[in-house]
Amino acid sequence: MPIERRRWLATFGLGAVSAAAARPARAEEPACPTGDAPLRLQDFRPVSMLHVTETHVSRPRFPVIDVHTHFTFTASETKGVPTGEAMSFNSTAEAALAVMDRKGVKAVVNLTGGSGKGLEATLDAFDRKHPGRFWSCTEPSYGAWLDPRYPQIQADAVEAAARAGAKGLKILKTLGLGLRERLTEGPLVKVDDARLDPMWEACAGHRLPVFMHVSDPEAFFLPIDCTNERWDELGNHPEWSFHGKDFPSHRELMAARDRVLARHPRTLFVGLHVGHDAENLDFVSESLERFPNLHVELGARIGELGRQPRRARRFFEKHQDRIFFGTDAVPPPAGDATPQQIFTDALYEIYYRFLESDDEYFDYAPAPVPPQGRWRIYGIALPDGILRKVYHENAERLLGLS
Ligand SMILES: [Zn+2]
C-alpha cells in the first residue's frame, strides 16, 4: 500500500508537496536507496501523510529555566568513572546565551560542573561571568574512593563546592552502573551504599538539591533483539545496554534509590528523566506521593511522555508543583550523537510545542528517524497555571531564586 501510494503521488507530482506539508525537509537527509534489494530498517524513514495543524512555538508562553543542561563535562576519568578535576567545555557562555535569548530561556542549570579546580573553572566561565543566567552543579569525584576517609572527603568536597557557588550536586548513572568496589573492578557499588550517606547529608546541610540519574529506560535492560523498542538507539549507543553481565535490574536500582530517599528526608532529590521511569508514570506518581523530598524533570523524555499524552497530562495536573522543565541539552558537536538532546533552537521549539499545543503526531527530536524509538508524539496543551510552574516557578523555588 505505501509503495502504491508513493507511486501515485509521484505520478501526479504531489510527493514533494505532501511531504513538505507533513514535515519540513531536512537538507542532511540522504537519498532513498534504489533497486530491488529489501529495504533496510536503517533506511526506512516514513513521512507522515496526516494533514493536521502544525503549531510553531518559537518562544515559550512564559520564561523558562532549563534545569538539565551539560555545557561542561569532567574530562579526567578512569574507565568511565570520573576521578579528577580537569574539565572539557562544550560551549562558551556567549554561544549558549545566543540560543537562550532567542528561545526565551532565562537561566539554565549546568549539571556536570565538575569538582575542585574544575568546578572553579566552570563557575568562572559561566556562572560568575553572567550572573543569574547559569547555575552550575558540582559532582562527586571518585578519585579518593579507595581512601578509607572517602565518606568524609566527599562530604567536605560538597561543603567546599557550596561555598564556591555550586547550586546542586549531580549524580551520574556511574553510581549503580559504573563505580566498582575497587574503582573499576570488583562488584558494582550500590546506589544506597552507606559510604555515601555523609554526602547526601552534606547536600541537605548546604541546601544543595541532588540531581540524580539512576537507571535508564527499561528497554536498556533487555536483550537488543527484534522485540526491543529502542533497537535503533541501542544500535547507535551499544554502551547504553545494561543487559546481562553483572548489572542490577531496573527494579533493583529503583529500590536502592528509594532507600536513599527514605534515609535522607531532609535532602531534596530531583529524579532526572521523569524520575528515571518515564515509561511507568504510575510508578513515578507513587514515588512522588511516597517521598515528599522527590521531584522530577523532563530531560530527554518527551518522547516517552508524548506517546502517552492523556496519562502524561494527568501526571502534570497531579504533580504540577514538583515537575521542572529540563532538556538534557548538550551543545554541538558533542551533542550531535544524541539528537533528542542537542542544544539548538529546534530542540526547545519541540519541547514548547509538546507542552503548549495539542498538535498530533510530531517528531520529538530534530532528526530524520526518531532517535530513541520509532514513534511520534502528541502535545498536551497545558494550561497557563501549570505551564508557569513547570517553566520557571518550581525551579525558582528549588534553587532559592524567588
Ligand atoms: Zn543529563
Helices 150-164, 197-205: crossing angle, 10 deg rounding: 20
Ligand 1 centroid – CA 214 distance (Å)? 11
Ligand 1 centroid – CA 210 distance (Å)? 13
Ligand 1 centroid – CA 367 distance (Å)? 19
Ligand 1 centroid – CA 212 distance (Å)? 9
In tens, the pLDDT along 337-376 reads: 999 999 999 999 999 999 999 999 999 999 989 999 999 9
Residues 6+ apart with CB under 8 A from 35: none
Ligand 1 centroid – CA 299 distance (Å)? 7
Contact present, 334 and 99 (Cβ < 8 Å): no
Contact present, 88 and 76 (Cβ < 8 Å): no
Ligand 1 centroid – CA 110 distance (Å)? 9
Ligand 1 centroid – CA 77 distance (Å)? 17
Ligand 1 centroid – CA 341 distance (Å)? 9
Residues 6+ apart with CB under 8 A from 346: 366
Total-model pTM: 0.92
In tens, the pLDDT along 375-391 reads: 999 999 999 999 999 99
In tens, the pLDDT along 261-282 reads: 999 999 999 999 999 999 999 9
Q: In the structure, what pLDDT confidence band is assigned to residue 173 with cuts at 50, 70 and 90?
A: very high
Q: Which pLDDT score is estimated for 28?
A: 66
Strands 185-188, 180-182: pairing is antiparallel
Ligand 1 centroid – CA 67 distance (Å)? 10
Ligand 1 centroid – CA 29 distance (Å)? 27
* Average pLDDT of span 84-110: 97
pLDDT at 58 over 60: yes
Ligand 1 centroid – CA 19 distance (Å)? 33
Ligand 1 centroid – CA 21 distance (Å)? 34
Ligand 1 centroid – CA 18 distance (Å)? 36
Long-range pairs of 275-282 with CB within 8 A, sequence gap ≥ 24: 276/213, 276/214, 276/215, 276/216, 277/215, 277/218, 277/250, 278/217, 278/304, 278/305, 279/217, 279/218, 279/304, 280/218, 281/308, 281/311, 281/312, 281/315
Ligand 1 centroid – CA 153 distance (Å)? 25
CA angle 354, 112, 320 (to 5 degrees): 35
Ligand 1 centroid – CA 224 distance (Å)? 23
CA angle 315, 317, 322 (to 5 degrees): 75
Alpha-carbon dihedral 230, 231, 234, 240, rounded to 10 degrees: 50
Cell matching residue 284: 513515578
Q: In the structure, what pLDDT confidence band is assigned to residue 30 with cuts at 50, 70 and 90?
A: confident
Ligand 1 centroid – CA 69 distance (Å)? 6
Ligand 1 centroid – CA 17 distance (Å)? 38
Ligand 1 centroid – CA 36 distance (Å)? 42
In tens, the pLDDT along 224-266 reads: 999 999 999 999 999 999 999 999 999 999 999 999 999 999 9
Q: Which pLDDT score is estimated for 80?
A: 84
